[in-house]
Amino acid sequence: MTSTAQKNNFKKILLKWNRDKNSRIMPWKGEKDPYKIWLSEIILQQTRVEQGLDYYNRFVKEFPEINKLAKAADKKIFKMWEGLGYYSRCRNLLATARYISKERKGKFPNSYKEINDLKGIGPYTASAISSFAFNLPHAVVDGNVFRVLARIFGIKTPPDTTEGKKLFNALAEELLDKKQPGIYNQSIMDFGAVVCKPASPLCQSCPFNKSCFAFLNDQVQSLPVKRKKITIKTRWLYYFIPEHNGEIFIHQRIGKDIWHHLHEFYLFEAKKKISNRQVTEQASKLASGTNLLKISPVYSQQLSHQYINAVFIHLYLKRKPFLLKTGQWVKKKKLQQFAFPGVIRDFLKDF
């Protein structure tokens, strides 16, 4: 059982480290504008800071306040988001911006409950926005926080269980400095990112190394405990690129599958890798008088639960087939104006 003295000591040590040693610089640190904090948090959901930084700067420059973001065309936003992945975040970003702009006249809500009710925002993001922008006493609990608390306090309950989430959330709220919640939240997040790292943590110079359970018991690499194992599904996507008079056929993905709202070429999905002969057979079904120009090597993309293998087949058509009627024909030089999944963007660099 963690004692009150241990908890108070944790808070003091963490805040002292933040004052004296925390040199982590990010453009949104110390920010009080809830719009910019929200924008940074949405971009950083499931995205490394190093990757999200340039996206954040571009969005803030293009849309310095929420009403400008709300008025932007979907196509423009998805293109700016291209490469960040998890595109449901982008859809929710637009939906929330338009809701705040229209229904709240551009004023961001200032209570935890109202923020948490916004589309695309959960307890962690609501805690971050409410504490950073409005100094409200709500503790952030993300992967960094799970790791710090599990190691220092020796918590062996997996955080990805219902019991674990309750336990970690309760402890995080107890430890929170209610007088300066924003500073405390930023401190523990930074500490997990630069000292108590997932791999190669800086234990020898860590200010908690005289009291950290994991360090003292040689369990740094085994905490936090993870229960769930991700099952990776492998998919084979065969993209046919029909060209007619310098135009390429593309269409937008509208189903509930991956890459919703992004563009792609005509797709044939196989259960496993198929031969070039089978590729040719599929091409002949697309249209008569088809000239197969080139079959690409395999391009791959790792998603959270899927491993994508994509092969691109460039075709020349003498006429536009009736089959291709739910998309649009685009000049090759204008393809870059559309948002594509990462694996297609990789191919287009070589196309």
Asked if omega into 27 is within 30° of 0 (cis), the reply is no
To the nearest whole number, what is the mean pLDDT of the chain?
91
pLDDT for 322 equals 66
pLDDT for 323 equals 67
CATH number at residue 51: 1.10.340.30
Last residue of a domain, one of 171, 202, 222: 222
Q: What is the sign, positive or negative, of the torsion defined by CA atoms of 8, 14, 18, 19? A: positive
Tokens of 244: 């007619």
Last residue of a domain, one of 222, 247, 266: 222
Same domain, yes or no, for 201 and 241? no
Rg (alpha carbons) of the chain, rounded to whole number: 25
Same domain, yes or no, for 108 and 248? no
Q: Does 138 reside within a domain? A: yes
Indicate if the pLDDT at residue 95 is higher than 80: yes
Same domain, yes or no, for 283 and 190? no
Which residues are designated catalytic?
A: 41
Same domain, yes or no, for 44 and 140? yes
Confidence of residue 180 (pLDDT cuts 50, 70, 90): very high
CA 71, chain centre distance (Å): 23
Same domain, yes or no, for 216 and 309? no
Q: Does 318 reside within a domain? A: yes
Phi, psi of 177 (to 5 degrees): -80, 105
3-state secondary structure of 246: coil
pLDDT for 117 equals 95
Strands 328-331 and 306-317: unpaired
Same domain, yes or no, for 321 and 202? no
Last residue of a domain, one of 222, 250, 277: 222
Same domain, yes or no, for 156 and 272? no
Strands 306-317 and 233-244: parallel
pLDDT for 1 equals 46
185-220 pLDDT per residue, tens: 999 999 999 999 998 999 999 999 999 999 999 999
Distance CA 135, CA 129 (A): 9
Q: Domain range for residue 201? A: 4-222
Q: Does 227 reside within a domain? A: no
Indicate if the pLDDT at residue 258 is higher than 80: yes
Q: Does 131 reside within a domain? A: yes
Indicate if the pLDDT at residue 164 is higher than 50: yes
Domain count for the chain, please give it: 2
Q: Does 207 reside within a domain? A: yes
Same domain, yes or no, for 162 and 25? yes
33-67 pLDDT per residue, tens: 999 999 999 998 878 888 889 999 999 999 999 99
Same domain, yes or no, for 24 and 108? yes
Same domain, yes or no, for 164 and 283? no
User: Cβ atoms within 10 A of the Cβ of 133, count?
Assistant: 20
Burial (CB count <10 Å: 0-12, 13-18, 19+), residue 341: buried
276-331 pLDDT per residue, tens: 889 888 888 877 667 878 899 999 998 878 999 999 999 988 887 766 777 889 99
Tokens of 190: 């930074």
What average pLDDT score do residues 73-88 get?
88
Q: Does 228 reside within a domain? A: no
Strands 290-295 and 306-317: antiparallel
CATH number at residue 254: 3.90.79.10
Q: Cβ(84)–Cβ(45) under 8 Å? A: no
Same domain, yes or no, for 172 and 242? no
* Measured CA distances, 350 to 161, 301, 302, 345, 347 (Å): 44, 16, 19, 9, 5
DSSP 271: S
Same domain, yes or no, for 247 and 185? no
Indicate if the pLDDT at residue 152 is higher than 80: yes
